[in-house]
Structure 1
Amino acid sequence: MTAPDGGERWVSVRRVLVLGGTGEGRRLATALAGRPGLRVTSSLAGRVRTPALPPGEVRIGGFGGADGLAEWLRDKQIDAVIDATHPFAARMTANAAAATARLGVPLLILRRPGWTAGPGDDWRWVGSPAEAAELLPSIGQRVFLTTGRQDLAAFAGLDLWFLVRAVDAPEPPAPQRMQVLLDRGPFTVDDERALLHEHRIDVLVTKDSGGDMTAAKLAAARELGIPVVIQSRPPLPSGVATVSTVGEAAQWASTP
């Protein structure tokens, strides 16, 4: 690299991979963009057709499991990895933990806090979409399903009516009685309340994603006395450092 005086010098660059696809991942890439001594690459899974791209270098697509990720980290000489994926991207998180452990590359997990039920909430916790599907017929007949299009197969055999909200159009197998709403947050409580009213929803199904972008549906359900079936988060790998804010992750990334 050429110094301001025209001479040559070596500059130590810390190469950081951000496993993103979330609002936190985009904000982290923005916070790190242009910081001296950092070269940041954001990786997106490519499951959304028109993803919101973070600033800086971006790669889209899978790595081919833990082995493929380890090979990519080695080839790109990555010095640190931050997993800022969705709280339910358990396979990617497990692959990141395995690949970085194999190479001795530091790994940090950035996870937004989960949601907590408050006064007036009627939440029924489940461990999987299959458990949610088993519980639903005893609760309601008109379902607002916000778990994502990849979980629809678990509900395909139910004789219930579903309003399915997703970023991209779902593919079969899916419930036969279904209306699809293509939309991306953030959502307001007023909008969510109106949506629940319009479609006469009597049960909401979601995941404990946390964050503010999609929390309005929970407030609307509370106001209307609608029960919520909510899927618990998968456990994180043991022994991996975890933070809950973008600021903490940015500080970690900037520390050699």
Structure 2
Amino acid sequence: MTARRVLVLGGTAEARELADALAAEPGVVVTTSLAGRTRDPRLPAGAVRTGGFGGVDGLAAACAHVDLLVDATHPFAARMTSHAAAASARTGTPLVVLRRPGWVEGPGDDWRRVPTTGAAAAAVVGSRRVFLAIGRQGVGAFLDVDAWFLVRAIEPPDVLPARSELVLARGPFALDDERALLRRHRIDVVVAKDSGGATEAKLVAARELGVPVVLVDRPPVPDGVRVVDGVVGALGVVREQCGTPSG
């Protein structure tokens, strides 16, 4: 039996979990592609390549050598998802997008949803102390906002607001720590992206402390692309497309 080749566009916990499962799947050879923006990333099982593809053309060329493309990038990696959809359409390589569910506002939450980081910057005008929990990208949108910022990211942003403190840390974070962080820095608004997953402790802490949240909505997946919301679903697609057993 000829091995079936799966290319996973990774960088998330779900991508690592999927690659680990596929590495143990009979008849499947998995390669995970990482963008290379994070130093010392957590590596999945199987082969790993690092760096961009050079746009749609490069990704399409890579698709010529695989049987299935799985986009398991961050929910806000809109350009990569757009390139994956275009490369899949051009080459006929099946594509599935693995996206964990977004967060849902519950009783006691005080959320304001906005479409972009620019809109989030406009929404916090008038705030005094802002917890910016959007990662390193998008921080530049807040440079002209007259407030103090606590900026948390895995890697240092290219720019920082004039009045700010940078915390370099990798989540997920414990609820007790998030609660203490908001209290210690006297945060009066939290800005986050609707990434979903296990990083919701900051939102729970904000709810408990009565701190409002500005939540940036995730970009939509291109029309016509198949989407699953978990590793089990993605594994099922691999088995369906590659003809591997489901036991």
Residue 253 of structure 1: how far off its partner (Å): 1.1
- The letter of the residue matching 2:67 is D
Deviation at residue 34 of structure 1 after TM alignment: 2.6
- Residue number in structure 2 paired with 1:119: 107
Aligned with 1:137: secondary structure?
coil
Aligned equivalent of 2:187, options 177, 185, 201: 201
Q: 1:22 aligns with which of 2, 12, 21?
A: 12
The residue that corresponds to 1:13 in the other structure is 3
1:68 maps to amino acid? G
Which residue of structure 1 lines up, in the alignment, with residue 173 of structure 2?
A: 187
Task: State the match for 2:129 in structure 1.
Answer: 142
For 1:97, the equivalent position in structure 2 comes to: 85
Contact 1:16–1:81, Cα closer than 8 Å, also in 2:
yes
Match of 2:235 in 1: 250
Native 8 Å contact 1:20 1:42 kept in 2: yes
- Output the CA distance in 1 between the equivalents of 2:222 and 2:185: 40
Q: Which residue number corresponds to residue 210 of structure 1?
A: 196
String of CA shifts for 1:46-68, please: whole Å, max 9, x gaps: 11112111111001111111111
2:197 alignment partner, SS class? coil
In the alignment of these two chains, the number of paired residues is 241
Alignment RMSD, CA only? 0.9
Shift of 1:73: 1.9
Aligned equivalent of 2:163? 177
Deviates more, 1:180-189 or 1:90-99: 180-189
Match of 1:237 among 222, 236, 247: 222
Question: Separation in 1 of the partners of 2:218 and 2:139?
Answer: 18
Structure 1 residue 151 corresponds to structure 2 residue 138: yes
| Contact 1:143 1:204 (8 Å CA) reproduced | yes
TM-score, length of structure 2 as denominator length: 0.96
The Cα shift of 1:33 comes to 1.0
State the partner residue of 1:38.
28
Aligned residue in 2 for 1:167: 154
Cα distance in 2 between the residues matched to 1:208 and 1:142: 21
Offset at 1:188?
1.1
Q: Distance in 2 between matches of 1:94 and 1:112?
A: 18
Q: Deviations over 1:58-85 (max 9, x none)?
A: 01111111111111222xx111001101
Q: Residue 221 of structure 2 aligns to which amino acid in structure 1? A: L
User: Which structure's CA Rg is the greater one?
Assistant: 1
Deviation at 1:189, TM superposition (A): 0.9
- State the 1:238 CA deviation: 0.8
Distance 2:145 2:32 in 1: 39
Give, in angstroms, the shift of residue 179 of structure 1.
0.4
Mapped partners of 2:62, 2:2: distance in 1:
20
- Look up the equivalent residue of 1:26 and give its one-letter code: R
Letter of the 1:194 counterpart:
A
Q: Between the two proteins, what is the percent identity of the paired residues? A: 59
- Cα distance in 2 for partners of 1:224, 1:250 equals 39
Q: Could you say what secondary structure the match of 2:43 adopts? A: coil
Match of 1:51 in 2: 41
CA contact (8 A) 1:38 1:254 kept: no
TM-score (ref. length: structure 1): 0.92
Deviates more, 1:91-100 or 1:47-56: 47-56
- How far residue 252 of structure 1 moved from its aligned partner, in angstroms, is 1.2
